[in-house]
């Protein structure tokens, strides 16, 4: 027998109500449970939270996008892969770091590196609300006193960006940046293939809103059959006493045009 939409909706609400009541009761009883049952309850709650966090991340990101559902990523001719890291798509945990140490992560894809002994660096995810913003979220980097020799953000590209990668490909990195004062930003692409790692470095041309650089893999000695990992370093030169806002950051992959 086929269940009507109205009946299905009623059953869903009933199940949800019972689930909420079950976890409310569990919260009340947790203080009185022994170690064994309490450990099982904790594991169940963690598994549920992972799924809830996934739902919230996707929902918040989609609801923050323009009504037409477009992702706003500019696609070069022949583009076969695009990606916007999670930090620019939906809310991440933690949403901010104060006095961030080297190797601190914010979101699943972004890691901070520096060699300051005493960190005066703050990272915070921000909500983009301007009409011209293409991404729902952004990243603000506040740097005060800086006595180190380098400051960088490292972004690990996902597996689908590595799959099928050829030396005929170009990888485009585009970003929308706001600076409190002008600095240079260098972008270094790292391709690990077997025991070797090839690097390509480009300076990001700033000042035109959404700026981009392209990495031509023909200038590497990449072994297409042994590519294991790709990551990009964003290197900030002279970052002290500055606020850097990365309103958007995207990657696109496309084949080089035949000549």
> 17-44: per-residue pLDDT in tens?
777 777 778 788 777 778 887 788 787 7
* DSSP category for residue 239: -
More confident residue, 12 or 5: 12
Burial of 102 (0-12, 13-18, 19+ CB in 10 A): middle
The token pair at 177 is 């940046």
Mean pLDDT across the stretch 197-218?
Answer: 89
Residue ranges and CATH numbers for the domains of the chain are 5-64 (no CATH), 81-255 (2.60.120.260)
- Distances 34 to 22, 30, 41 between C-alpha atoms, Å: 18, 9, 11
152 close to 114: Cβ distance less than 8 angstroms: yes
Say which residues have a Cβ less than 8 Å from residue 226's Cβ, sequence separation at least 6: 193, 194
Quickly state the pLDDT bin for 68 (edges 50, 70, 90): very low
pLDDT by residue (tens digit) across 170-197?
A: 999 999 999 999 999 999 999 999 999 9
What pLDDT sits at residue 1? Answer: 40
Burial of 47 (0-12, 13-18, 19+ CB in 10 A): exposed
Quickly state the pLDDT bin for 217 (edges 50, 70, 90): very high
Q: Where are the alpha helices (DSSP H) in the chain?
A: 5-29, 35-64, 159-162
Q: Dihedral (C-alpha) 81, 84, 85, 91: value to the nearest 10 degrees? A: -140
110 close to 85: Cβ distance less than 8 angstroms: yes
- Distances 65 to 32, 134, 176, 247, 249 between C-alpha atoms, Å: 45, 8, 16, 14, 15
pTM of structure: 0.74
246 close to 138: Cβ distance less than 8 angstroms: yes
- In sequence order, the β-bridge partners of residue 116 are none
pLDDT by residue (tens digit) across 239-258?
A: 999 999 999 999 999 998 76
């Amino acid at each position: 027998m086929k269940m009507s939409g109205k009946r299905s909706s009623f059953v869903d609400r009933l199940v949800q109500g019972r689930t909420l009541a079950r976890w409310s009761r569990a919260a009340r009883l947790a203080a009185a449970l022994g170690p064994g049952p309490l450990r099982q309850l904790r594991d169940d709650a963690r598994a549920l939270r992972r799924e809830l966090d996934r739902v919230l991340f996707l929902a918040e990101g989609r609801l923050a996008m323009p009504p037409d559902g477009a992702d706003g990523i500019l696609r070069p001719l022949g583009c076969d892969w695009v990606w916007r890291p999670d930090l620019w798509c939906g809310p991440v945990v933690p949403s901010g770091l104060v006095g961030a140490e080297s190797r601190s992560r914010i979101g699943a894809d972004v890691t901070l590196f520096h060699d300051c002994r005493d960190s005066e660096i703050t990272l915070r995810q921000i909500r983009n609300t301007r009409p011209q913003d293409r991404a729902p979220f952004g990243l603000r980097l506040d740097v005060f006193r800086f006595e180190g020799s380098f400051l960088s953000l490292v972004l690990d590209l996902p597996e689908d960006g590595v799959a099928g990668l050829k030396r005929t490909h170009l990888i485009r990195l585009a970003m929308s940046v706001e600076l409190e004062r002008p600095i240079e930003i260098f972008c270094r692409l790292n391709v690990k293939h077997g025991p070797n790692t090839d690097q390509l470095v480009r300076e990001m041309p700033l000042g035109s809103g959404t700026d981009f650089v392209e990495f031509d893999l023909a200038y590497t000695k990449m072994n297409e059959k042994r590519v294991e990992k790709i990551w990009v370093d964003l290197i900030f030169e002279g970052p002290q006493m500055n606020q850097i806002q990365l309103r958007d950051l995207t990657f696109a992959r496309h084949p080089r045009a035949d000549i």
